[in-house]
Structure 1
Amino acid sequence: MSQDLFKTAADEFAALVQSGKVSNEDQLKAYGWYKQATVGDVSTTRPSVLFVKETAKWDAWNERKGTSQADSKEEYIKYVNELKEKYK
């Protein structure tokens, strides 16, 4: 899989988010795949529940724990393509 495909998917996702059409749930799922693809398993402690946004993002990332970065990139690209169809 090409790094170019991943970067293209990231750019396309950013454009979708800017359109204002993408739900928070879909954004969180994409965030989880993106972080797992670029960083790997989450290595920080879970934020306090008082920080709702940060906790949701951490949870979305942690759900992908154990998935390889290569597999996560493929899943991210696939998910962005699904979102492009959903929000066209």
Structure 2
Amino acid sequence: MILIFNIIDLAIRALKMLILIRIVLSWVAPQSRNEFTHLVYELTEPILRPFRMLIPLGSMRMDISPILAYFALNLIRNLVYRLLLF
């Protein structure tokens, strides 16, 4: 069970890191579309899209979907921890 949790934990950590990288990329080089940027956007978009659908941006200029996704990933990690290790 610990091995399964460690694998899930590693995947969640990687996703959270990719979300943080995407946030920084959107601030530093919002129009840059090199291979690395494209890869980060492709890996994180399936995670962020459901949160954008829940809270449409409309006239808002700030996308809060990364924040919501980050908290959701923490929640999932904690649930998996409790289910597998207790």
Q: TM-score, normalised by structure 1?
A: 0.40
Structure possessing the higher radius of gyration over alpha carbons: 2
**More helix per residue:** 2
Q: TM-score, normalised by structure 2?
A: 0.41
